[in-house]
Amino acid sequence: MEAWKLARDGASVRAPLLASDLHLPMKNNPMLNEEVARIFENMARVLAFKGQDRFRIMAYERAAVSLRDLEEDLAVIAEAGHLQEIPGIGHDLAEMIEEYVKTRSIRRYQRECRGIPEGLIELMAIPGLGPKTLALLSKRCRVKDFDSLKQAIDKGTLSRLPGFGQKKIDNLRRGIDLWLGGKQRMLLGVAMPLAEDLLENLRKIRLVERADVAGSIRRRRETIGDMDVLIISRDSPRALEQAVKLPVVKQVLALGDTRATVMIEGGIQVDIRSMPEESYGAALQYFTGSKQHNVHLRLLGRERGLKINEYGVFRGNKRLGGKDENEVYGLLKMPLIAPELREDRGEIEAALEERLPKLIDVGDLKGDLHTHTTFSDGKATLEEMVEHAAELGYEYIALTDHSPSERIARGLDLDRLEQKMEEIERLRKKRGNRKPHILCGAEVDILADGKLDYPDEILARLDVVVAAVHSAFRQARDRMTGRVLDAIANQHVDILGHPGGRQLGAREPVELDFERVVAAAIKAGVALEINGSMYRLDLTDVQAKAAQAAGALLAIGSDAHSTPQMDQIRFGVYQARRGWIEPRPVVNTWPFARLHRWLARHATRRHAISA
Ligand code: DGT
Ligand code: CA
Ligand code: CA
Residues of the chain with CATH 3.20.20.140: 362-599
pTM (predicted TM-score): 0.81
State the pLDDT confidence band at 162, using cuts at 50, 70 and 90: confident
Reported as type and span, the H/E element at residue 153 is: helix 146-154
Residue whose C-alpha is closest to residue 29's, from 208, 329, 299, 267:
267
Separation of alpha carbons 452 and 16, rounded Å: 35
Q: Which CATH number is correct for 362-599, 3.40.50.2300, 3.40.50.10860, 3.20.20.140, 3.90.550.10?
A: 3.20.20.140
pLDDT confidence band for 578 (50 / 70 / 90): very high
Q: Name 510's bridge partners.
A: none
Q: Where in the chain is the domain with CATH 1.10.150.110?
A: 2-184
* Distance (Å) from CA 367 to ligand 2 centroid: 33
- Pocket test of ligand 1: the residue of 228, 292, 307 to mutate, having most ligand atoms within 8 Å of its CB, is 228
The bound ligand whose nearest atom lies closest to the alpha carbon of 227 is 2
Average pLDDT over residues 200-222: 97
Which amino acid residue places its CA nearest to atom 28 of ligand 1? 291
pLDDT average, residue stretch 360-378: 96
Strand ranges, E, within 416-532? 437-445, 464-468, 495-496, 527-531
Q: Is 295 in the pocket of ligand 1 (CB under 6 A)?
A: yes
Report which protein residue has its CA nearest ligand 1's atom 8: 215
For domain 285-352, the question of CATH label 3.30.210.10 is answered with: yes
- Per-residue pLDDT averaged across 453-482, rounded? 95
Q: Is there a contact between 557 and 572 (Cβ–Cβ < 8 Å)? A: yes
Question: Which residue intervals of 185-290 are DSSP H helices?
Answer: 188-204, 215-218, 236-243, 280-288
CATH tag for 187-274 (out of 3.40.47.10, 3.30.460.10, 1.10.10.10, 3.10.180.10): 3.30.460.10
Distance, in Å, from the CA atom of 304 to the CA atom of 316, rounded to the nearest integer, reads 12
What is the rounded CA–CA span in Å between residue 557 and residue 497?
A: 9
- For a mutational test of ligand 1's pocket, the pick from 221, 287, 309, 337, i.e. the residue with the most ligand atoms closer than 8 A to its C-beta, is 287
CA–CA separation, 40 vs 67, rounded Å?
Answer: 10
How far does the centroid of ligand 3 lie from the alpha carbon of residue 532, in Å?
A: 26
User: By C-alpha distance, which of 201, 177, 262 is closest to 29?
Assistant: 201
Q: How large is the angle between the packed helices 382-391 and 414-431, nearest 10 degrees? A: 40
| Residues 136/48, Cβ–Cβ less than 8 Å | no
Cα separations in angstroms, 589 against 81, 310, 361, 387, 497: 45, 38, 10, 19, 17
Q: What is the pLDDT of residue 12?
A: 26
According to CATH, the superfamily of the domain at 2-184 is DNA polymerase beta, N-terminal domain-like (1.10.150.110)
Tell me the percentage of the chain whose pLDDT exceeds 70: 93
Eight-state DSSP code of residue 536: T
> Where do you find CATH 3.30.210.10 in the chain?
285-352
Q: Which of 192, 227, 230, 291 to mutate to test the pocket of ligand 1 (most atoms within 8 A of CB)?
A: 291
Q: How confident is the model at residue 77 (pLDDT cuts 50, 70, 90)?
A: confident
pLDDT for the residue 30:
53
- Does residue 216's CB lie within 6 angstroms of at least one atom of ligand 1? yes
- Cα–Cα nearest to 371, from 562, 204, 184, 198: 562
- Kindly indicate the confidence band of residue 153, based on its pLDDT and cuts at 50, 70 and 90: confident
| 21-66 pLDDT per residue, tens | 333 333 345 567 878 988 999 999 999 999 899 899 999 998 988 8
CATH 3.30.460.10 domain extents, the chain: 187-274
Rg of the chain over Cα atoms, rounded to whole angstroms, equals 26
Q: Are 347 and 337 in contact (CB under 8 A)?
A: yes
pLDDT digit string, tens, across residues 399-448: 999 999 987 778 999 999 999 999 999 999 999 999 999 999 999 999 99
**For residue 190, pLDDT beyond 70:** yes
Cα–Cα distance between 112 and 130 in angstroms, integer? 18
Helical (H) or strand (E) element with 252:
strand 249-255
CB 468, CB 497: distance < 8 Å: yes
3-state secondary structure 564-579: HHHHHHHHHHHHHHHC
Continuous segment of H or E residues that includes residue 368: strand 367-368
Q: How far is the CA of 356 from the centre of ligand 3 (A)?
A: 27
Give the Cβ contact number of residue 330 at 10 Å: 15
CB of 555 closer than 8 Å to CB of 366: no
